[in-house]
């Protein structure tokens, strides 16, 4: 969707909250290069990254200029032009069960300087982003997190997990089918032409994936600084199907000591078909003079163990929540996805911030299509299946990665009528485990 980062005014509540602490909340103009460069410096500092080089700063500027960028400033600081807190956000599509997409608001670059803790900055930033999301008509907000105890306060909940997959090359014996297409080396520049279309198809296959922006492809393929050491270590291959159509790619690197087997690592494997996924995995794990393969931010339900004679050659580690979701408009959000079973379910949603509060009737037909309506408590069918839950619990079950009955066992969802949780489990089931394979 087209998006003007400055199309809506700065949230007055966040402005007032920060002003009470002597701080200024500003929406940056992408044309103000001095302010944008200072913001980029602060964002890198907040994530403990090194000071950016000119080539990295130029890339970060191109990405940030397409987003809504906010900074918090302390006029009494030694350098008042450098923000003491940062955040950015932008509208994007989130893939949901059924191969569909919902309008969402992505929140990123959340940092607060350690010199300015306990002044209400994080709360102002997060509530300000929820206001931005509502102003753009997003059905939900989402983020990836490094801290798991912060964002639940604002209604977010973990909705998709990720893991690191490691393969012991010495135990690999492929027993899966041969792919009908072919894997071939391509240059990163050539792959960049086909990558956006492949990525769009791949994203639509899996709940929890989000639309890719151009900058992330440039970074993954090593095109931001093509002559840098990190980029020169990247190798890129593409899978073409039996008709010659590009259906997948991977960017990987091999690290090793002199005269020793290497270790292959990748962060970016994109597959628009099952054939492409299998072919790329086989290419990676059958490398010679390699002792192991490691892929980060992979699905917790990888098919790889079922393609090898020894499934114990594959191990999962660093299993953690990754994508956090915050529902803002239950009618739009619930109506966007497909469901696993027909039924009628009342959802009584609590939300301390008020965005998603209310009672909603979810009616799903035999094809998994939903109709959602807001109803008054007095309109609820006395004999109907019904659950009471918070907005966090709604976000957790939304993509199908958490069963409602599990949250019932944890006393996080209340069953108003026997059988409601069983029905909810069937309805919210997804055909694929939700998964997000990138940071944002």
Query: Which residue has tokens 């929140």?
Result: 107
Asked if 151 is an active-site residue, the reply is: yes
Residue closest to 400 by CA, chosen among 158, 203, 207: 207
Q: CA 97 to CA 397: how far, in whole Å?
A: 12
Q: 147 among the known binding-site residues?
A: yes
Q: 119 among the known binding-site residues?
A: yes
Q: 112 among the known binding-site residues?
A: yes
Q: 250 among the known binding-site residues?
A: no
Residue closest to 24 by CA, chosen among 76, 102, 94: 76
Q: How far is CA 133 from CA 126, 136, 137, in A?
A: 11, 5, 6
Instruction: Confirm if 166 and 314 have CB atoms less than 8 A apart.
Output: yes
- What's CA 422's distance to the chain center, in Å? 28
Q: 123 among the known binding-site residues?
A: yes
Q: 430 among the known binding-site residues?
A: no
Q: 181 among the known binding-site residues?
A: no
For 161, counting Cβ atoms within 10 Å of its Cβ (0-12 exposed, 13-18 middle, 19+ buried), the class is buried
The C-alpha angle with vertex 307 and arms to 305 and 312, in degrees rounded to 5, equals 30
Instruction: Confirm if 137 and 92 have CB atoms less than 8 A apart.
Output: no
Q: 55 among the known binding-site residues?
A: no
98 - beta bridge partners?
none
Q: 78 among the known binding-site residues?
A: no
Among the listed residues 151, 156, 252, 360, the single catalytic one is: 151
Residues in binding site for acetyl-CoA = 110-112, 118-123, 146-147
Residue positions annotated with a catalytic role: 151, 440
Residues in binding site = 110-112, 118-123, 146-147
């Amino acid at each position: 969707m087209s998006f003007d980062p400055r199309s809506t005014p700065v949230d007055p509540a966040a402005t007032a909250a920060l002003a009470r602490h002597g701080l200024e909340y500003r929406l940056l103009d992408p044309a103000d290069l001095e302010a944008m460069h200072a913001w980029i410096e602060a964002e890198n500092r907040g994530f403990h990254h090194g000071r950016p080089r000119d080539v990295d700063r130029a890339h970060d500027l191109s990405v940030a200029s397409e987003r809504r960028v906010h900074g918090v400033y302390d006029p009494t600081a030694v350098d008042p032009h450098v923000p003491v807190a940062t955040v950015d956000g932008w509208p994007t599509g989130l893939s949901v069960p059924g191969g569909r997409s919902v309008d969402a608001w992505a929140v990123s670059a959340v940092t607060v300087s350690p010199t300015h803790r306990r002044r209400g900055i994080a709360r102002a930033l997060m509530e300000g982003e929820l206001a931005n999301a509502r102003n753009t008509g997003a059905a939900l907000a989402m983020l990836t997190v490094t801290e798991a105890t912060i964002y639940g306060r604002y209604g977010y909940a973990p909705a998709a997990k990720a893991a690191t997959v490691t393969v012991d090359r010495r135990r690999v014996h492929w027993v899966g089918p041969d792919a009908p297409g072919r894997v071939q080396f391509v240059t990163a520049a050539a792959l960049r032409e086909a990558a956006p279309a492949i990525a769009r198809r791949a994203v639509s296959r899996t709940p929890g994936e989000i639309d890719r922006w151009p900058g992330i492809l440039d970074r993954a393929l090593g095109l931001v600084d093509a002559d840098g050491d990190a980029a020169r270590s990247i190798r890129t291959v593409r899978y073409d199907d039996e008709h010659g159509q590009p259906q997948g790619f991977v960017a990987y690197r091999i690290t090793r000591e002199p005269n020793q087997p290497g270790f292959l690592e990748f962060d970016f494997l994109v597959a628009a078909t099952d054939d492409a996924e299998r072919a790329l995995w086989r290419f990676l794990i059958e490398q010679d003079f390699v002792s192991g393969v490691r892929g980060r931010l992979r699905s917790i339900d990888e098919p790889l163990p079922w393609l090898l004679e020894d499934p114990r050659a594959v191990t999962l580690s660093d299993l953690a929540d990754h994508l956090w979701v915050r529902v803002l408009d239950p009618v739009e959000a619930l109506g966007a996805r497909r469901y696993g079973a027909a039924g009628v379910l009342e959802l009584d949603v609590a939300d301390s911030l008020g965005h998603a509060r209310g009672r909603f009737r979810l009616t799903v037909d035999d094809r998994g299509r939903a109709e959602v309506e807001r109803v008054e408590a007095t309109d609820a069918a006395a004999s109907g299946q019904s659950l009471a839950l918070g907005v966090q619990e709604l976000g957790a079950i939304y993509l199908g990665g958490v069963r409602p009955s599990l949250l019932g066992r944890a006393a996080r969802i209340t069953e108003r009528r026997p059988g409601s949780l069983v029905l909810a489990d069937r309805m919210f089931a997804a055909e694929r485990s939700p998964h997000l394979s990138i940071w944002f």
